[in-house]
Structure 1
């Protein structure tokens, strides 16, 4: 909008009745200075207002935050109001819905009648078909003993009750969708706790083992529990993790730290081939975990494999933040992380564009950086790879149960008191997403059967947790999870909005089938918001195992299909029906894709020249060792 008089917006506002003084003519005498009026001696002293003093906080906000932070420590960051509100919403509306109550009662009566008939036939030695099957992915009853009498009756009774319980949380008229999901999650947790597999006297596997060993398994289990409790109190790693020491057993691909700042180190890896491809690869891992998941042992190290294929590889190794880093922002991770690393790569390999790869949260910040670079005309990228990384958070899966205004507010208070969110506090939420796999199965194996699962390099890495700075994590949860600004075109960098569609370099996006952190349909949405060629790949496995899948093992499978910029969008389920299946590792498909996006030139390996910020320090550097 154009103002009729642009200068009017800069004029000072005038009091009513104000008249400007006449302009002073050159050489005219100065106006007389007004005389100070002196009050008579008998006049009362003037009233002087008291000096302004800061008012105390009438709401005692700091006290409230401290109390909420203490509550968050007890609940592992789960807001009590979430449970209370969901329960109240469900109970009130169920009370006001006699039809739904009648339907649930009839369903329970029908289940009881069918179970009675089934039980009589099974008790008589028959083999009736199961009344209900375990949910997809439920492996609690896979042992053949659960199909034998009388254990099969216990399993069927439990599965019927679980189905009725979970159905009771659904389809109550008037209940908010979020509350329905939260209550379903809560009911599922209760059902998991009460599973007969968790009760020693009802689990035939535990009973049989105890009888065979005369209870020695329970003694070993008690010793395992005491050892785990002691390690937890001492802050020591889990049993067996000492066999995978960083820099000795894992993260041993040769390299050198060439740049360091207050947030990260950049590692340049030593080539193993006489010549290398001209375009280097920069990998940006998530700072929610340490980088060496991509550089475990030589036989399953993605870094080592890429180097052996003739690539020059650079890796970002994030600092493990502490309370002094509480004010690090999300944009600090872009500037001090992605952009500083890209500058270091350009110094090491001048004149070449870079294949940028981001894993999980590292992929999200990399996509933000790439969109910002595209907006500002920075064309240093050759391609963009996003491994299990989300750019849209509208359908971020079960993790959204822990991310709403109530949860984020509680986490804000917890991080306000600590300066960070600890790895253990984050791990609690992730374990609740898969309690049977991550909690109860371990309780049964370690403490009731008395067995220890052998420690693996991936398990040891998973126990090497990191922290999240308070400010960054709050910004991440609010701007991306809660408000979904990035894909909505409302995410601003340096005061100006960025758009994913500005990214014109080819994109390789990867999702994993069993991902509870970044569901593959959510990762797939990069197809909706980009305006470039996108090669989407769906691999078997989960968020970590699906990524660490070297070609030598020939395990797993993947689907891949490319949509060019001028082709129409297809939904993820249609894509899954069209994309061809391939056995083995996706690493080979990605390496072929990278080779096709370069110019094919082979050059001598670049020299390793650390800049002034970094000493001549071999990989894995210093930051990865921070506990």
Structure 2
């Protein structure tokens, strides 16, 4: 790296790139290699002992197969391939020419700039140092070019194009120069300044995280030692008053003298733990709902193992939702209940409501769905992982243990936002050697759960693959289900930036319900859009007419409201039935107290 001029003609300071203590640096490199060996042993050992089996088909196979379809289009016509290659080469030559002009002191505009909010190239030397600026420009041009190859490839079916775009995005995120020591000025300077101590610490953390994952990398996103269930997360007082093989039912203690007559049953997703709705006193939807006068009951799903292999959706409905309704009736004497379902918990609730309608079960009188899909036509990037070949491979893998390991699902969800949830932590942890900061949301995110084989297979096939629920083809307990049979009022909440349950997908599902649907669009994403306490005064939400017609047209006619949607929802709930009764205490009416909240099932870790 010579003394090359920056964009303003000034000479950058290269002292930060010169190793000051070669002996110390050499010692640390040796220690780093030693720790790297421990990391390799942590990966190999459980496989040699038969404790870890890589039974899922190599995902690289699907990546290669998918991207080969794109290559076929461009390579089938020599002129077409030459045109694409010429375009990329011309961009490289422009970058090179601009670098030469910049080194001579001329002001030159970059031919491509990072997207707004891209934090990878924040260090000033990405612009001041001609070498790193060239790397940045070449990378951004190449990434854009690769994305355009997918966009302009003809003859691809929608699913293949979707997968190709997703895989290209993952690959280009992975090869970013910001992810490597020698091509990231910030990492390079930190390594020189610490004589390589950061690399020793990083390799040590890598080995620890592979050990923690039982032979797979469990990426550390938060300082897990700073949180304890029941002490500084999931702290709302309550009691476990019932337990089945798949669920514990928690009843929370009241904070008001009078409460709404209708109790509230919350059905969270079984992917991750329920306490996303009870992170701490300031963020807890559970506590807030209690303070508004709701008698709150929450289903805490079991973290399944081989004993639960055959637990399917019928079991989760009977031993979770129906079991919860029975528990509420026994504890309070009430048969009329308001219910909430979050994400896949909302999909299960919707299917259960259709089944209940066929059976004449009418204890749930209103349903609220948080970022829930029932129509999976526009289900977003998770559909990348769902086709017949991939599901068969997954079912084969699950048949060995009876469940899907939680780290597999966690990785899939992290890949949806790899630029935020994977690579920044790889760089921070294993190259900079820094512990991640304590963050309750990411602590919860890392608290993954397994999926029982029957449950997960049913979900993937009936929802993502075949979209059976809105087609009237989903069968449970011998009944073909129809959402049109659900006549109760629905409050359907979507989040504008949701990557898991896209707002469009939630909107399109509204038309299938047989009763009145109130569609509300929250700001932010799948978690922050839901967990948004009014006191924080963050984001916004939109309300409008009935969710009919095109989503974009509906959106143009909405009213924007600042802050949280929580109060709007509570007003909607009270409009259904605002009668109040004296507060109920867990354990009344002979209900047995099995444990203190947050219970025992939530403490079972992968």
TM-score range, shorter chain: 0.7 to 0.9
The answer as to 2:102 corresponding to 1:119 is: no
- 2:560 matched to which residue of 1? 581
Partner of 1:621: 599
Residue pair 2:306, 2:402 contacting (<8 A) in 1 also: yes
Distance 1:88 1:611 in 2: 65
**Cα distance change, pair 211–510 in 1 and its aligned pair in 2 (3 A):** same
The alignment status of 1:608 with 2:586, answered yes or no, reads yes
Cα distance in structure 2, aligned partners of 1:75 and 1:87: 23
Q: 1:441 to 1:338 in 2, by over 3 A?
A: same
Matched, 1:381 2:364: yes
> 1:275: how far off?
0.7
- Where 2:523 maps in the other structure, the secondary structure is strand
In the alignment, the residues of structure 2 paired with residue 595 and residue 270 of structure 1 have an alpha-carbon distance, to the nearest angstrom, of: 20
The aligned residue for residue 207 of structure 1 is: 188
Is 2:331–2:589's contact at 8 Å kept on the other side of the alignment? Answer: no
Q: Is the 8 A contact 1:501 1:530 kept in 2?
A: yes
CA distance in 1, matches of 2:412, 2:188: 32
Q: Residues 451 and 96 (structure 1 numbering): CA distance in 2 closer, same or farther, change over 3 Å?
A: same
Cα deviations across residues 420-464 of structure 1 (Å, max 9, x unaligned)? Answer: 001012122222222222221111112222322212222222222
The 1:77/1:552 distance shift into structure 2, 3 A limit, reads farther
Larger Rg: 1
Instruction: Say how many residue pairs are matched.
Output: 552
Structure 2 residue matching 1:140: 3-state secondary structure: coil
Structure 2 residue corresponding to 1:489, chosen from 469, 472, 479: 472
Which residue of 2 is the match for residue 337 of structure 1?
320
Equivalent in the alignment of 1:592: 571
- Tell me the secondary structure at the aligned position of residue 549 of structure 1: coil
Compared with structure 1, are the counterparts of its residues 492 and 312 closer, same or farther at alpha carbon in structure 2 (3 Å cutoff)? same
Whether the 8 Å contact between 1:374 and 1:502 is mirrored in structure 2 is yes
* Deviation at residue 531 of structure 1 after TM alignment: 3.6
Change in 2 beyond 3 A, CA 1:612/1:104:
farther
Any conservation in 2 of the 1:97–1:173 contact (CA below 8 Å)? no
Deviations 1:574-595 (A, max 9, x none): 2333322222222222222222
Superposition pairs for residues 315-464 of structure 1, below 5 Å?
315-464=298-447
Contact 1:97-1:172 within 8 A present in 2 as well: no
Contact 1:610 1:616 in 2 (8 A): no
The answer for the alignment partner of 1:129 in structure 2 is 109
Q: TM-score, normalised by structure 1?
A: 0.82
Cα distance, 1:264 vs structure 2: 0.7
Q: Secondary structure at the match of 2:347?
A: helix
Q: CA shift at 1:472, angstroms?
A: 1.3
Q: 8 Å contact 1:100–1:172 — kept in the other structure?
A: no
- Equivalent residues in 2 for 1:488-507, closer than 5 Å: 488-507=471-490
Deviation at 1:147, TM superposition (A): 3.4
* 1:614 positional shift: 5.0
Aligned-partner Cα distance in 1 for 2:595–2:516: 39
TM-score (norm 2): 0.84
What SS class does the counterpart of residue 256 from structure 1 fall into? Answer: strand
Within 2, Cα distance between the matches of 1:512 and 1:237? Answer: 27
Q: Compared with structure 1, are the counterparts of its residues 460 and 88 closer, same or farther at alpha carbon in structure 2 (3 Å cutoff)?
A: closer
* Alignment partners' CA distance in 2, 1:107 and 1:498: 53
